[in-house]
Structure 1
């Protein structure tokens, strides 16, 4: 994409963001939106800081993710102002002068100390909607996060602008590059830690820039949904590999999961292929007007059918869902919103005024999104089948133990589990699968 194309997309995006902010301020009866980028936090009894994470409300406006101590000020009818902290410092790398397609859209004031921002913030903090964390307070400018403003902005953040989708495509390019390197490392016999390093090297990002901690799991470790220990020595034998890893670009995230068998001709790979085929059918359901909760329940039916086809369950898919047996093998939600945050905000919002949250389906407490899909939404679709000892033990002791072929379960248990995850855009027509596009390039 050319610089001119990026500039046009960004200008349109900023017009949308400013319009949303104007409405939010009007609802709250306030005059200014003030957003700190965030500050460094130091560890107790130590002089080391925690990894800095930019305020999502700040990076919604501009692609700055490594600039603690800066501030954004928006007043309706005026150009937005950026207070850009560029300290005099020889201990650390100082941020470069502002540059990029976004710069012409802002009045930029360079400050040399955090306190200097006070000279350029609006005169009366009481007339400001200040969005951020408590540690960002400066003088009388204390983040209050007024609900009328936050509820409105977060609800509408679900609808991505074309600029935001383009940013997520760029994140996906990095993520796919990392996933391909990770699979090569797995096939070459690397440990979980070695695969992780291969991913980071290929993606060009590390723990401070990745959108979340990489899940790199060999064998049984794939049964731990958020496994992050990363053994330094590979198991013997290596049977399977699950990787859930993303990447960032300008503050936007991708979230990708793939699963592989060490032996591409074995039955576990056949199970992976079955889940992959079902997952692509689920991605095709990401359409305007479709209730995401129903997509989740349909996923249970599809996965239960696979478990029956592979001789693991004898129940019908409908009975497996109704009795909760399917949740033993698929205990998490089908996915979530994604954008500025991996688990993007307002997943349960019924409206932009802080109304009663949309409920989750009964018996499905871990679903992260209950809204009806609409054009502009970007969601993950991540079905899985797992062999988790704790959940299997409960099933074995319960009334539906006879519906399970435990010998088949024991055969698959050493492989841990399967998860396939893509990021999918809901449009006016057919969904756009950013992840599959990335792997096809």
Structure 2
């Protein structure tokens, strides 16, 4: 019976097809901190290497020669472990693969062949072989879903801790600490990305860095956070009430967003274009804003004129898994990502069984967009600026879940984390 790694390599070789290239997949190495003497940033192995080897080893190379039948054409090369490596870092020999020092002679034996480099240190965005390995990696196998489940369990613990911690005077940084501590206590090996915490006005900053701002009565709390387990990342957003609960306007906005997000999740089925998921989100938000009197125009006009991007100025989500934006991009045979409803979504592809996606629509009131004279002139007929003025309390609302596309009903992996 083939192992998981063997199946991944067979899938990748099949995706690459009849290429005669010798392909080197690089794990990557340490990156020094500026002015940090011998200090480095934490090592992050390239996901292609991790997926094909199951390892996180710096400076390693996985080679593929389609003309070499032994081992399916795959050869692993690892740097030798020195006594100093063991003393300083506790590294030990892996007991598999070949020494990295042998790679030069291995390549010399294939002199005259085209060498294609993938992975860390190489810009391969235009390489057909890069696109093929992304396609091979998009459907998640059983081993990957097990790790995703563990990441979700740890993430749920973090959000539960956040709800318990909320109180007037709590700072964004203090809430971040509560969340990430719960992640670690529940088995996370790290955070999937820098935790985002925003109170009131800072909830409209997409990548808000938690600071010293204290939570006040009447402010919503936006948390975008995920735990990581062995490289696999959950990605969840919830908008929670601050002390005193939601205002009536906040409740209306969140109820609208909740319905939109659930509709998008249910639409994640095989054959559906990702742009269509974004359109469902954008149209639902536009219709709600029209019902509130903020938009004068129809939902369709708000999408066609791109007025909706004033309130929903990002894509509806992306692929997730081995890394927080795992194997996103464009589908086979497509050109660059396209602009759609005023934004450029991170994905431009059809959903397939096994794809794991985030669905994260949002509604925002961002002064930099809504008070811009150029936007006010451009969208004079689409937006009721007087009515908007009664809603314009700076802030944002976002809900995000991780959805597995199947042959049947989509599965919400993060459904146990309350909205």
Coarse TM-score class (shorter-chain normalised): 0.7 to 0.9
Alpha-carbon distance change, 30 to 396 in structure 1, aligned in 2, over 3 angstroms: closer
1:83 shift after superposition = 4.8
1:84 shift after superposition = 5.3
**Per-residue displacement from partner, 1:133-165 (whole Å, max 9, x unpaired)?**
339xxxxxxx98993432211122222222222
Distance 2:125 2:351 in 1: 27
Tell me, yes or no, if the aligned pair for 1:132 and 1:145 is still in contact at 8 Å.
no
Structure 1 position 43 matched with structure 2 position 22:
no
Q: For 1:61, what is the secondary structure of its paired residue?
A: helix
Gaps of 5+ in 1: 1-7, 99-106, 111-115, 136-142
1:333 aligned residue: 315
- After TM superposition, the structure 1 = structure 2 runs for residues 124-135 of structure 1, keeping only pairs within 5 Å, are 124=107, 129-134=116-121
RMSD: 3.2
1:311 aligned residue: 293
Structure 1 position 117 matched with structure 2 position 105:
no
TM-score (norm 1): 0.81
Distance 2:167 2:93 in 1: 44
**Per-residue displacement from partner, 1:17-50 (whole Å, max 9, x unpaired)?**
111332356533035x543322111134431212
Alpha-carbon distance change, 232 to 364 in structure 1, aligned in 2, over 3 angstroms: same
1:216 aligned residue: 197
1:373 aligned residue: 351
Tell me, yes or no, if the aligned pair for 2:27 and 2:60 is still in contact at 8 Å.
yes
TM-score (norm 2): 0.85
Gaps of 5+ in 2: none
1:306 shift after superposition = 1.7
Tell me, yes or no, if the aligned pair for 1:174 and 1:204 is still in contact at 8 Å.
yes
1:78 shift after superposition = 1.0
- After TM superposition, the structure 1 = structure 2 runs for residues 24-423 of structure 1, keeping only pairs within 5 Å, are 27-30=18-21, 33-47=23-37, 48-65=39-56, 67-73=57-63, 76-78=69-71, 82-83=76-77, 86-89=81-84, 92-95=88-91, 108-109=96-97, 116-119=99-102, 123-124=106-107, 129-134=116-121, 147-187=127-167, 189-204=169-184, 209-228=190-209, 230-237=210-217, 239-262=219-242, 263-267=244-248, 268-349=250-331, 351=332, 355-357=333-335, 359-394=337-372, 397-401=376-380, 403-406=382-385, 409-414=388-393, 416-423=395-402
Segment of structure 1 superposing worse, 218-227 or 88-97: 88-97
Q: For 1:168, what is the secondary structure of its paired residue?
A: helix
**Per-residue displacement from partner, 1:157-199 (whole Å, max 9, x unpaired)?**
2222222222222211121211222232234642110111111
Q: For 1:311, what is the secondary structure of its paired residue?
A: coil
Distance 2:238 2:134 in 1: 30
1:102 aligned residue: none
Structure 1 position 435 matched with structure 2 position 399:
no
Q: For 1:439, what is the secondary structure of its paired residue?
A: coil
Alpha-carbon distance change, 379 to 188 in structure 1, aligned in 2, over 3 angstroms: same
Alpha-carbon distance change, 62 to 201 in structure 1, aligned in 2, over 3 angstroms: farther
1:346 shift after superposition = 4.7
Tell me, yes or no, if the aligned pair for 1:425 and 1:432 is still in contact at 8 Å.
yes
1:255 shift after superposition = 0.9
Distance 2:169 2:301 in 1: 41
Segment of structure 1 superposing worse, 392-401 or 285-294: 392-401
Alpha-carbon distance change, 184 to 423 in structure 1, aligned in 2, over 3 angstroms: same
1:240 shift after superposition = 1.0
